[in-house]
Copies of this chain bind each other. A is one copy, B any other.
Amino acid sequence: MLLTGTGRLAPAGLSPWALVVRDGRIAWVGHPRDAPDDEAIDLGSALVTPGLVDSHTHPVFAGDRSDEAAARLEGVPYAEGGILRTVRDTREADDATLERLVEGRLRASLAAGTTTVECKSGYGLSLDEEVRHLRIIGRVAGRLPIRVVRTFLGAHAVPAGMAIGEFTAHVADDMIPAVAAEGLADFVDVFADAGFFDLDATERIGRAAFAAGLGLRLHADQLALTGTAELGVRLGAASVDHLEQLDDEGVRAVAASSTVATLLPAPALVMRDRLPPGRALLDAGAMVALASDANAGTFGTFGAMPLVVGLGATLLGMTVAEALTAATSGGARALRCDDLGVVRPGAAADLVAWDAEHEGAFALRLGSVRPSRVWIAGEEVDLSG
């Protein structure tokens, strides 16, 4: 298959362009005059990008916490109570209900141009519930073309009535080995923050992840500067996420590492939180990803990645091309999937043609740029569903 266009192939900015897709991968990229003969599809003046990679979401939950979001904006502080409320609502939802909810959320992501999505468990907090949630993600992923990477976030909050040490040991010694044995996740994540999991607990869980052959990613320095980002760098986490409170020293530590800085401007905006130091991280040479953090309590929009690209550019001091890179190859690097999120020979043919001609539309038409056509592994996705 030969795709050609006179619009921009962003973020690299190539125009006009041609690319050959073979066996689900990009086989060749160049100027149309040099293109080989093949079954051709002309995408005209449409902006074309790699499929967006949303490397941080929490899609398995029931219930609605809109009232809490409204109350928070009236001055009620965010607390773990919110997560435990979702845990209760989600435990009461049967498999069919949760599968329907997760499928709707992943379909919304795909319809908005996300071709790879990371999905965390974490609203279970018991082995049975966490395993149930990870299996549900797997079953929904099997029905949809979107690529799914699963993360076990058992350490999302401490269940009522348990001490943090006791629950940390349970996560590290019982839950992670069980999840790994069944192949239910690629990564382990920890909600490390003041009032949640401290550095010792986080390190213990991180080491258990590696021992079980899983990768590590961390919720880091969101509500308070705890040093979690630097712990993540030291442990070799694939990504440290949030970073609203990261200081200059932390910026330098992340920039000097292979750990990706994953920034989540949407919940920071919704929570009126401090914004993560996006410009400083880029200037220091860090690999930056942008992700949605779609979840039950602090940002509930699945299919938000076009908005998130715009927020990266407008709120975090990035150029639109930098924001688009962060939302494609940045996310892919954060998931350790280096053949996704880029347009080069050998990469997966995950591509989106947008209802726009220039990537500046992600800023100008904030939140409303939509795919007109989507391909995953070279197969066109039916967006009408």
A contact set with B: CB distance below 8 Å: 64-71, 73-74, 266, 269-270, 272, 297-304, 307, 310, 313-315, 317-321, 356-361, 363-368
Contact at A304–B64, with CB atoms within 8 Å? no
Contact at B70–A360, with CB atoms within 8 Å? yes
Contact at A70–B365, with CB atoms within 8 Å? no
Specify which of B70, B299, B304, B319 is in contact with A321 (CB 8 Å cutoff). B70
The distance from the CB of A137 to the nearest CB of chain B, in whole angstroms, is 21
**Assembly of this chain: how many copies?**
2
Contact at B303–A368, with CB atoms within 8 Å? yes
A298: chain B residues at CB < 8 Å are 364
Contact at B366–A269, with CB atoms within 8 Å? yes
Contact at B73–A314, with CB atoms within 8 Å? yes
A368: chain B residues at CB < 8 Å are 300-304
Please, which residue of chain B has its CB at the minimum distance from the CB of A8? B67
A320: chain B residues at CB < 8 Å are 69-70, 73
The distance from the CB of A45 to the nearest CB of chain B, in whole angstroms, is 10
The distance from the CB of A130 to the nearest CB of chain B, in whole angstroms, is 24
Q: A303-B368, A366-B299 are contacts. A319–B74 as well, Cβ < 8 Å?
A: yes
Contact at B304–A66, with CB atoms within 8 Å? no
Specify which of B302, B318, B357, B363 is in contact with A69 (CB 8 Å cutoff). B363
A317: chain B residues at CB < 8 Å are 272
Contact at A66–B266, with CB atoms within 8 Å? no
* 18 extra A-B contacts, CB within 8 A, seeds A298-B364, A299-B364: A66-B361, A68-B364, A70-B358, A70-B363, A73-B314, A73-B319, A73-B363, A74-B319, A266-B366, A270-B310, A270-B363, A270-B366, A299-B365, A300-B361, A300-B365, A301-B366, A304-B368, A307-B366
The distance from the CB of A316 to the nearest CB of chain B, in whole angstroms, is 10
Q: List 27 A-B contacts (CB under 8 A).
A: A64-B356, A65-B360, A65-B364, A66-B356, A66-B359, A66-B363, A66-B365, A67-B358, A68-B360, A69-B361, A69-B364, A70-B320, A70-B358, A70-B360, A70-B363, A71-B360, A73-B313, A73-B360, A74-B319, A270-B310, A270-B314, A300-B365, A301-B366, A302-B368, A304-B368, A307-B366, A367-B367
